[in-house]
Amino acid sequence: MFQSSSRTSQLIDEDAEDDAAARRGVDRADLPNESIWVSRADLEDEYVRAIGGEAMWQALNASPMISRNELSNCEQTGPGGTHTDEEVAAFCRRGRYKVKGALVASRILTETQARQISSVESLLSEVAPA
């Protein structure tokens, strides 16, 4: 959560959207008016999609934070034995790799890629307008 003046902004995963709307007593479509921004399907999906599954995989592979044994837990069903965006995102959302994946992503994200993470871009545009 991020607090700006008297308003608290939230970034949530898509699977929390109905609960967030019910807690606020609004329709899902009105969550942005409540400063609640939804990652589709989740933040890992958004940043892997922005970076590209294979590029993110290469960065994970090069990171000293994740062992070869841990990397072997990621499926590899893409063309020519590559990793799909979905497979890399699934790996990054696993509890033990969640923070490591986000740290790796933060090190390689370009500004252009970061702006493609629509939920974060929307939240930041609200709390820190240009």
Per-residue pLDDT tens for 92-130?
Answer: 999 999 999 999 999 999 999 999 999 999 998 888 887
Peptide bond into 128 cis (omega under 30): no
Q: Are residues 81 and 98 in the same domain?
A: yes
93 near 13, Cβ under 8 Å?
no
pTM over the 0.85 mark? yes
Domain count, the chain: 2
117 near 50, Cβ under 8 Å?
yes
Question: Which one has a higher pLDDT value, 4 or 112?
Answer: 112
Per-residue pLDDT tens for 8-66?
Answer: 899 999 999 999 999 999 999 999 999 999 999 999 999 999 999 999 999 999 999 99
Q: Are residues 37 and 60 in the same domain?
A: no
The pLDDT-based confidence of 1 (bands split at 50, 70, 90) is: low
- In this prediction, residue 8 carries a pLDDT of 86
Q: Are residues 49 and 69 in the same domain?
A: yes
| 51-67: burial string, b at 16+ Cβ within 10 Å, e else | bebeebbebbeebeebe
- In this prediction, residue 6 carries a pLDDT of 58
Q: Are residues 51 and 35 in the same domain?
A: no
- In this prediction, residue 129 carries a pLDDT of 80
> Can you give the residue range of the structural domain that contains 29?
2-42+117-127
Q: Are residues 57 and 91 in the same domain?
A: yes
- Which phi-psi region, left, alpha or beta, contains residue 35 (left: φ > 0; alpha: ψ -120 to 50)? left
Q: In what order do the strands lie in the sheet with 2-4?
A: 2-4, 7-13, 36-39
- In this prediction, residue 84 carries a pLDDT of 95
